[in-house]
Copies of this chain bind each other. A is one copy, B any other.
Amino acid sequence: MSDAPLGGAIGIDIGGSKILGLVIAHNGTVRSRLQLPTPKDSIEDLLAALTRIVEQLDEGDERLPLGIGLPGMIGRGGTVAFSPHLPATAGLDPAVALCRLLGDDREIVIENDANCALLAEHRLGAAQGIDDVVMITLGTGIGGALMSDGTLRRGANGFAGEVGHMVLAVDGPPCPCGAKGCWERYASGSGLARLARDAAVGGRLRSVTEAIGGDPKAVRGEDVTAAAALGDPEAQAVVDEAGWWLARGIANVVCVIDPELVVLGGGMSAAALALLPSATRHLGELLEGSQRRPKVELAVAELGADAGAIGAALLGRDGI
């Protein structure tokens, strides 16, 4: 680990729609940043975008340590097994490919994006000083990351934390993964959208439907969270329903690994904030033996949309 005052590191977070690159200083503060749209059609374009970000963020002649986070199942050796939003990356070892393009031999660490975010929240954000933590990332789907006894736990293959595909309702709606009733069908961005649309089509969101022009099928999750914040009781009921599902999945995770804290993050952080009060209340009721055990705390990620890139930079600098 470099503690030299100028010793920085580059972190890159490859998301479904954009790539965020940034440089952190030795104390973790962000010194510079660059964002590009994610090229999704070809590996070559994706690698070219990554190369451009690294070349622009490198400082003078110094080749900074580099970490990269991306969604999906990343093998413990850094090869992408499967990334649902970047299917072309399957089988790719981004570190090897990028070193070739950069023409240098710096160490590059590749890691699941939720693992990166959890590491950043543990070092610098909502989970400081807490060593048994689960990160739940709410986006199009639900991802996750686990830390026990202060160390990220990646599982035998590096695939730990794929919590969005826990099944909560074996007869529930089908999931693109092939199962039915996966958690992310209810509590992710698309899950909230589905609950909102079902409520509107069933006549339970009259004011919201009117406000957006009358088509219940056009009601979006953010229409409902906005109306709920303004006091619409029908919208609040849908938010409460989504909060219950969020809590139910968290209670399942707690049964398995018993964390002290659950941090909610990911691209749907605004929704996470909206769901937090109801999820916290329901979690209290849903935990097994809830009368006899300490509460599990729920918190929203403090580093927001930067968490993944900051964590990637920390991993690049300090190793896994």
Q: Enumerate chain A interface residues (CB-CB to B < 8 A).
A: 73, 81-82, 90, 131-132, 144, 146, 148-149, 151, 153-171, 177-179, 248, 251-253, 255-260, 286, 288-289, 292-294
Give complex CA distance A158, B82 in Å. 33
A177 to B155, CA, bound (A): 29
Q: Output the least CB separation between A277 and chain B (Å).
A: 21
Are the CB atoms of A146 and B257 closer together than 8 Å?
Answer: yes
**Taking A73-B293, A289-B81 as contacts, is the C-beta distance between A256 and B163 under 8 angstroms?**
yes
Cβ-defined contact, B256 with A161, below 8 A: yes
Kindly list chain B residues whose C-beta atoms are within 8 Å of the C-beta of A90.
Answer: 292
Contact call A255/B163, Cβ cutoff below 8 A: yes
Query: How many Å lie between the Cα of A161 and that of B148 in the bound state?
Result: 13
Closest 4 CB pairs of A and B: A155-B258, A156-B260, A132-B156, A160-B258
The oligomer's copy count stands at 2
| Nearest B residue (CB) for A134 | B256
- Determine the distance from Cα of A149 to Cα of B164 in the docked complex, in whole angstroms: 23
Contact present for B168 and A167 (CB under 8 Å): yes
Complex formed: what's the CA distance from A11 to B252 in Å? 31
Instruction: Decide: B294 and A157 in contact? CB cutoff 8 A.
Output: yes
Task: State the Cβ distance, A53 to closest chain B Cβ, in Å.
Answer: 28
List, in ascending order, chain B residues with CB within 8 A of A293's CB. 73, 81-82, 157, 159
Q: Contacts of A289 on B, CB cut-off 8 Å?
A: 73, 81-82, 159, 177
A288–B81 CB distance below 8 A: no
Q: How far is the CA of A162 from the CA of B154 in the complex (A)?
A: 20
Q: A163 CB to closest chain B CB, in angstroms? A: 6
User: Which residues from B are CB-within-8-Å of A151?
Assistant: 149
Q: Does the CB pair A159–B81 fall under 8 Å?
A: no
Q: Of all chain B residues, which has the CB nearest A288? A: B165
**Shortest distance from the beta carbon of A257 to any chain B beta carbon, whole Å:** 5
- B258 touching A158, Cβ below 8 Å: yes
Whether the Cβ atoms of B155 and A257 lie closer than 8 Å is yes
A179 to B289, CA, bound (A): 11
CB-nearest residue of chain B relative to A292? B82
A252-B252, A257-B257 given; 11 more Cβ-contact pairs under 8 Å: A73-B289, A82-B293, A146-B256, A157-B294, A162-B255, A162-B256, A163-B255, A164-B255, A169-B169, A169-B170, A256-B256
Contact check: which of B153, B157, B163, B251 meets A167 at CB < 8 Å? B251
B81 near A292: Cβ-Cβ < 8 Å:
yes
**B residues within 8 A CB of A294?**
156-157
Supposing A148-B153, A153-B153 touch, asked if A292 and B73 sit within 8 A by C-beta, the answer is yes
Q: Kindly name the residue among A159, A160, A257 whose own CB sees the greatest number of chain B CB atoms within 10 A.
A: A257
B148/A256 in contact, CB under 8 A: no
Q: Given known contacts A153-B257, A159-B258, is B288 in contact with A177 (CB within 8 Å)?
A: yes
With A179-B286, A289-B177: A258-B148 Cβ-Cβ less than 8 Å: no
> Within the complex, what minimum Cβ distance (angstroms) separates A250 from chain B?
11
Whether A257 and B160, one on each chain, are in contact in the complex, defined by CB atoms closer than 8 angstroms, is yes
Q: Given A177-B288, A179-B288, A289-B177, A259–B156 Cβ distance below 8 Å? A: yes
